[in-house]
Structure 1
Amino acid sequence: MSGSRLASGSRVAIVGGGIAGAGLAASLIFNGRARGCALDVRVYESGDPDAIAPPAILTPECRSRLAALGARVPQEWRAHELRGVELLSHGQREVMPASAGGLWVVDGWPQGQGGLSLVREALAGAATSQGARFVSRRVERVEHQPCAADAPAVVRKNGPLVVRAQGSGERFHAVALATGAGASLGDSFFPGFQPAPSVAAVQARLRLPTPRMGPPPLARLWMSPLPSVDGLVLLPGAHSVYALAYGPAVTPADLCQALMMAARDGLVEEGFELLALETTRLPYGPGRSLVAPGQLVVGAAAFGHPLQVGVSDTLASCSRAAVALLDAGLEAPALERRYVRDGLADLLDDAAAGARAVTWLRRAGRRAPQAFITARHRVAAAGTVGSGVLGLPAPSPQVLLSVARWAGIRETMSSWVRTAVEPLPTTIPTMERDLYYIVDDDPDQREAMTQLLESTGAHVVAFADELALFCAVARRPPTAILLDVVLHWVDGLRLCEGLKQHPLTRDTRVVVMSGMNRPHIRQRALDAGAEAFLPKPVDPERLLRQLMGVVPTTSSAPSEAPLDAAGETGRYAS
């Protein structure tokens, strides 16, 4: 150390090994060497990567920042480009085109890694080649423990901050947090730490039946497709589609229902397969307390909003954090001034405006797509240059907020003088009588109930995947749906509730089945809109009576149905 500043040999710990962590490591070493300061940088990786690695959207600015940090940008990353972003809301559509070569979708999934993982590896490779070390340990807390005067010299020179990771503790002069949204250490990083607020989100991977061909595709942002979903983002890849739904109360069932509607409207290709789904968190504004003596926060843990696509702002925070640590010293007031007020001011303002714009875009309803177009033209007319939303140069979050607020006010005033009607497709499929859908992840149970219903002359389609049900029910509404409670992706009761809330399926009969024959489960099923609750093992006679009001003769029932000790028809168990 040299006074309160980093000097050659200073030790820096980075908590989080994603793009922000690897980017900060590369930026620290690069900027340190430019100042004649060789740093010892260690990056703590959690060792628990997300099941879904999203694709990366690389803008020209992103690619320039990666190259400046020494990360190789392979030419094959350009293999997939977007021709723009389509905006949808309440039946209205607008397209914001991208310039040629402007938006690259980097993704190797499902054959290889997701795009963010590929970009992270490029940054980690650049940092490692310059001397950074990556350690697979989960950090539990960071402690400020100045060394006693009589401590050994080897201890005193290693810094006052102790990083506790899985039972071990090491000293550092500075520690940075780069864990992403919703995964911060809170007060365990430093007392009073207030990271960026976050909003619930659900992400999924859809595999396409055939590789995408033809002209460059469009990314899509569907605003407020459901009451619980503020936005649905669809990013197309060569072999897949990445879907992200966000909102304060969004659930996996909401994403499945939104995807069903997207398939109905031709926004995603029919025949896709849902291969992965998980919940996550998105940054939703700026953090309030981001620095302490020798400590600071970068990336999504510090700021962000759902309309922020790409990693340019994250990389910008890494560069500004590195410069602040090297030039401003390790004292909290100096870091606050150099990093937060001078370095992040514009990014924090954009994060606040972007989060507020999401709320107003929801209120704007059918006016929301046009708000983007109006805001983009205003930026172009003003001649300003800055980071925009959705990976495009314009509009900026602050200009979009101004336009979206006015659009939301106008839409609210208009709603006072008209009756709100929930939008429906121009052609509503007719319910097919004697068509029954069965949704159960147990193949034996599906087969048994299929045979039972087909013995009455009914047509039966059985699904193991609840998303397939959503897509089918929009095209061919059945007489009734038999729905298991425990499914692969979504809770069956939540699925029932979603079906009864949507205008296409609200009149479809739903019978819920479950081996958990408890009063509260039964009541939840009825509250969700189910016509009846049948405990497993299901009684065939009761099932047929519930669905058809009759019980077939013994000769028409499946011959393999055994009799129990009391002489009654056996029940089908899962």
Structure 2
Amino acid sequence: MAGSRVAIIGGGIAGAGLASSLLFNGRARGVSLDVRVYSHSEPNTVPPPVVLTPECRSRLAALGCRVPMDWRVHELRGVEVLSHGRRDLLPAPPGGLWVVDGWPNGPSGLEVVREALVTAATAQGARFISRHVDRVERHAPAPDAPEVVRNSGPLVVRAQGSGDRFHAVALATGAGGLLGDAFFPGFEPAPTVAAVQARLRHGSSRLTLAPLARLWIAPLPTVDGLFLLPGAHSVYALAFGPAVTPADLCQALMMAARDGLVDEGFELSALETTRLPFGPGRSLVAPGQLVVGPAALGHPLQLGLSETLATCSRAAVGLLDGGLEASALERRYVREGLSELMEDAAAGARSIAWLRRAGRRAPEAFLAARRKGSMCGVYSGGVLGLAAPTPLSLLAAARWAGLREVVSSWLRTAVEPVPTTVPTLEPDLYYVVDDDPDAREAMTQLLESTGATVVSFSDELALFCAVARRPPTAILLDVVLHWVDGLRLCEGLKQHPLTRNTRVVVMSGLNRPHVRQRALEAGAEAFLPKPVEPERLLQLLMGHGAPLPTVSPPVHVPEIPADAESGRYAS
């Protein structure tokens, strides 16, 4: 490897960490390397915070990355696991779980750690190039090529029209291995699962909730897990599942607000879809090529950067000790370096299905696995940033809890828990939910002219919390909203005991039979096409509860053209 040129594709934490580890270990062995990092990446609209475990901090220090105390905005007391009304706390390990985050007033934790690693790698000689890599090709230099070309390696990195030769190339992108066969033929990165991440901002300067990370197991049929991680002035939310969508995350957040898991008065500031690693990759090396970070292995129950940084140090040692032959890299990097991490990734991914089956016993499974001790290997660790439980012990405990729950469900009648405090219905209170300010104002004036009290919402995320604490006579709900369509919102209202009996009237400019049918199937009392006829609406509302007087003259509700709204309706 002496004098070799190494390209790293991906300038995130994995790419910068590998560059620093290669140069540090190479210098310790007296090996000079020319390391170049292709760091072009798409902008991240939801930059997440970072949780630094004691192991993470040690690994960063070993890479020459200083971890100052002022990075820590607060220290987590632990991780609370919730499922079906049950909750248990897994306390933080000795040394604490540091939350690094400055968003939205400063850089996110991910950006802070990445910049520190980039600085450390640059100080050791790495060069960062802002280019997008299209593919990696293998071409042996021609015998009559200039000496500088013959000595530059057989691998060609094609990036935005340019091509540079290297002896070794490492892929350090996120989960999914975007290059696929364009990295090397037969490349099989870590499998992935769909996820949606978001940032919730609050009006107050400090969060009032205790500094706890929360993992909610299966809050919805389409969501396997919901992470809630408090940052400096916000909460980072991550929902994952095979078919999870932004609407699922929003509905889960409304349920979390209703149940007091996030502070009231939040607003959704950023949201995007992403992918999470879901097990180990199957083909991670080729002659002179290897994969590190989430593209190589991982599972959604990881909290922190330990596994990513571990793959970087193992890859550096594998390249320096094993050379560039595929068989040597397979033995030194994969079989000897990643065996325990890959076993953990497989167990962590498999445990998620069993935790869902365990239902209300899921938190108990974490505690049972933790009592068995950590039993960590040299490079393996626990789930959720903790020393224990390990993924293997969690899988065993989750499987047993899942089997017990399945058997016990055959022997008992399902009784849904009802909240201990049920607020009183306010007979003259109406909620109007519509993202069109003119339609919202007109509907408010119409109802207020009858003497009713009206609260209007432009942001549907605040509705669930309001309904649970102050039930109205009825909710007038538009189909097309900003984050969640009204039909999904109606379904969510009907799924919980506190809001199940709330009357919902769905309105839409898309007056189609299938939309009307879906509204009724979602639990709506009625479907009204836009423009809404005031007399028809009032007649509908007068048939239940306290009657509303006749309006004279009726207030005009502005018409929303059906074709304009249909272009926004994605359901």
- TM-score, normalising length: structure 1: 0.91
8 Å contact from structure 2 (residues 450, 551) kept in 1: no
8 Å contact from structure 2 (residues 45, 272) kept in 1: yes
1:390 match: secondary structure: helix
- TM-superposed CA distance for 1:534, in Å, is 3.6
- 1:270 maps to 264
Amino acid at match of 1:36: G
1:141 match: secondary structure: strand
- 1:411 maps to 405
- TM-superposed CA distance for 1:196, in Å, is 0.9
Instruction: Name the stretch that deviates more: 292-301 or 255-264.
Output: 255-264
- TM-superposed CA distance for 1:521, in Å, is 4.1
Residue-pair matches, total: 558
The equivalent position to 1:257 in structure 2, one of 246, 251, 254, is 251
The equivalent position to 2:129 in structure 1, one of 120, 125, 135, is 135
The reply to whether residue 28 of structure 1 matches residue 25 of structure 2 is no
- 1:163 maps to 157
- 2:2 maps to 7
Residue segments in structure 2 that go unaligned for 5+ positions in a row: 566-571
> What is the alpha-carbon distance in structure 1 between the residues aligned to residue 551 and residue 257 of structure 2?
42
- 1:108 maps to 102
> What is the alpha-carbon distance in structure 1 between the residues aligned to residue 59 and residue 246 of structure 2?
35
8 Å contact from structure 2 (residues 258, 464) kept in 1: no
8 Å contact from structure 2 (residues 52, 97) kept in 1: yes
- 2:568 maps to none
Label 1:404 to 1:70 Cα distance change in 2 as closer, same or farther (>3 A).
Answer: same
The reply to whether residue 378 of structure 1 matches residue 376 of structure 2 is no
- 1:172 maps to 166
The equivalent position to 1:294 in structure 2, one of 279, 288, 292, is 288
Deviations 1:287-310 (CA, angstroms, capped at 9, x unpaired): 111111111111111111111100
8 Å contact from structure 1 (residues 481, 511) kept in 2: yes
Alignment of 1:76-87 (within 5 A): 76-87=70-81
Amino acid at match of 1:410: R
8 Å contact from structure 1 (residues 80, 216) kept in 2: no
- 1:422 maps to 416
Instruction: Name the stretch that deviates more: 502-511 or 29-38.
Output: 502-511
- 2:141 maps to 147
- TM-superposed CA distance for 1:83, in Å, is 1.4
- 2:534 maps to 540
Instruction: Name the stretch that deviates more: 420-429 or 305-314.
Output: 420-429
8 Å contact from structure 1 (residues 448, 572) kept in 2: no
> What is the alpha-carbon distance in structure 1 between the residues aligned to residue 73 and residue 558 of structure 2?
58
The reply to whether residue 195 of structure 1 matches residue 193 of structure 2 is no
8 Å contact from structure 2 (residues 26, 32) kept in 1: yes
8 Å contact from structure 1 (residues 199, 248) kept in 2: yes
> What is the alpha-carbon distance in structure 1 between the residues aligned to residue 376 and residue 511 of structure 2?
65
The reply to whether residue 247 of structure 1 matches residue 238 of structure 2 is no
- 1:3 maps to none
1:48 match: secondary structure: coil
- TM-superposed CA distance for 1:570, in Å, is 6.4
Label 1:544 to 1:384 Cα distance change in 2 as closer, same or farther (>3 A).
Answer: same
Amino acid at match of 1:7: A
1:184 match: secondary structure: coil
The equivalent position to 1:439 in structure 2, one of 425, 433, 447, is 433
Label 1:37 to 1:516 Cα distance change in 2 as closer, same or farther (>3 A).
Answer: farther
- TM-superposed CA distance for 1:202, in Å, is 1.6
> What is the alpha-carbon distance in structure 1 between the residues aligned to residue 480 and residue 144 of structure 2?
62
8 Å contact from structure 2 (residues 442, 558) kept in 1: no
The reply to whether residue 335 of structure 1 matches residue 329 of structure 2 is yes
- 1:459 maps to 453
Amino acid at match of 2:187: F
1:416 match: secondary structure: helix
- 1:488 maps to 482
Label 1:312 to 1:495 Cα distance change in 2 as closer, same or farther (>3 A).
Answer: same
- TM-superposed CA distance for 1:526, in Å, is 4.1
> What is the alpha-carbon distance in structure 2 between the residues aligned to residue 519 and residue 167 of structure 1?
52
The equivalent position to 2:179 in structure 1, one of 176, 185, 204, is 185
Amino acid at match of 1:504: L
The reply to whether residue 220 of structure 1 matches residue 214 of structure 2 is yes
> What is the alpha-carbon distance in structure 1 between the residues aligned to residue 513 and residue 139 of structure 2?
55
Instruction: Name the stretch that deviates more: 104-113 or 535-544.
Output: 535-544
Label 1:353 to 1:416 Cα distance change in 2 as closer, same or farther (>3 A).
Answer: same
Deviations 1:532-563 (CA, angstroms, capped at 9, x unpaired): 444444343444344445996562523xx4xx
Deviations 1:88-143 (CA, angstroms, capped at 9, x unpaired): 22222211212453210011012111111111111111111222122222222222
Alignment of 1:346-365 (within 5 A): 346-365=340-359
Amino acid at match of 2:302: Q
Instruction: Name the stretch that deviates more: 289-298 or 86-95.
Output: 86-95
Amino acid at match of 1:304: G
Instruction: Name the stretch that deviates more: 354-363 or 61-70.
Output: 354-363
Amino acid at match of 2:294: A
8 Å contact from structure 2 (residues 79, 214) kept in 1: yes
Deviations 1:302-358 (CA, angstroms, capped at 9, x unpaired): 111111100011000001011111111112111111111110000000001111111
Label 1:13 to 1:517 Cα distance change in 2 as closer, same or farther (>3 A).
Answer: farther
> What is the alpha-carbon distance in structure 1 between the residues aligned to residue 511 and residue 363 of structure 2?
47
- 2:554 maps to 557
Instruction: Name the stretch that deviates more: 300-309 or 149-158.
Output: 149-158
8 Å contact from structure 1 (residues 541, 551) kept in 2: no
8 Å contact from structure 2 (residues 8, 169) kept in 1: yes
How many percent of aligned residue pairs carry the same amino acid?
75
Deviations 1:515-542 (CA, angstroms, capped at 9, x unpaired): 4445554444444444444444434344
> What is the alpha-carbon distance in structure 1 between the residues aligned to residue 172 and residue 187 of structure 2?
14
> What is the alpha-carbon distance in structure 2 between the residues aligned to residue 383 and residue 123 of structure 1?
27
Amino acid at match of 2:271: L
- TM-superposed CA distance for 1:405, in Å, is 1.0
2:373 match: secondary structure: helix
> What is the alpha-carbon distance in structure 2 between the residues aligned to residue 374 and residue 551 of structure 1?
57
- TM-superposed CA distance for 1:444, in Å, is 1.6
> What is the alpha-carbon distance in structure 2 between the residues aligned to residue 103 and residue 65 of structure 1?
15
The equivalent position to 1:72 in structure 2, one of 48, 66, 71, is 66
- TM-superposed CA distance for 1:499, in Å, is 2.9
2:430 match: secondary structure: strand
The reply to whether residue 53 of structure 1 matches residue 50 of structure 2 is no
Label 1:170 to 1:519 Cα distance change in 2 as closer, same or farther (>3 A).
Answer: farther
Label 1:213 to 1:480 Cα distance change in 2 as closer, same or farther (>3 A).
Answer: closer
1:137 match: secondary structure: coil
> What is the alpha-carbon distance in structure 1 between the residues aligned to residue 425 and residue 133 of structure 2?
56
The reply to whether residue 476 of structure 1 matches residue 470 of structure 2 is yes
> What is the alpha-carbon distance in structure 1 between the residues aligned to residue 535 and residue 365 of structure 2?
57
> What is the alpha-carbon distance in structure 2 between the residues aligned to residue 169 and residue 545 of structure 1?
72
Residue segments in structure 1 that go unaligned for 5+ positions in a row: 1-5, 562-568
Amino acid at match of 2:554: A
> What is the alpha-carbon distance in structure 1 between the residues aligned to residue 376 and residue 131 of structure 2?
47
Amino acid at match of 1:371: A
The equivalent position to 1:311 in structure 2, one of 285, 305, 310, is 305
> What is the alpha-carbon distance in structure 2 between the residues aligned to residue 183 and residue 508 of structure 1?
46
Label 1:285 to 1:300 Cα distance change in 2 as closer, same or farther (>3 A).
Answer: same
- TM-superposed CA distance for 1:422, in Å, is 3.1
8 Å contact from structure 1 (residues 287, 301) kept in 2: yes
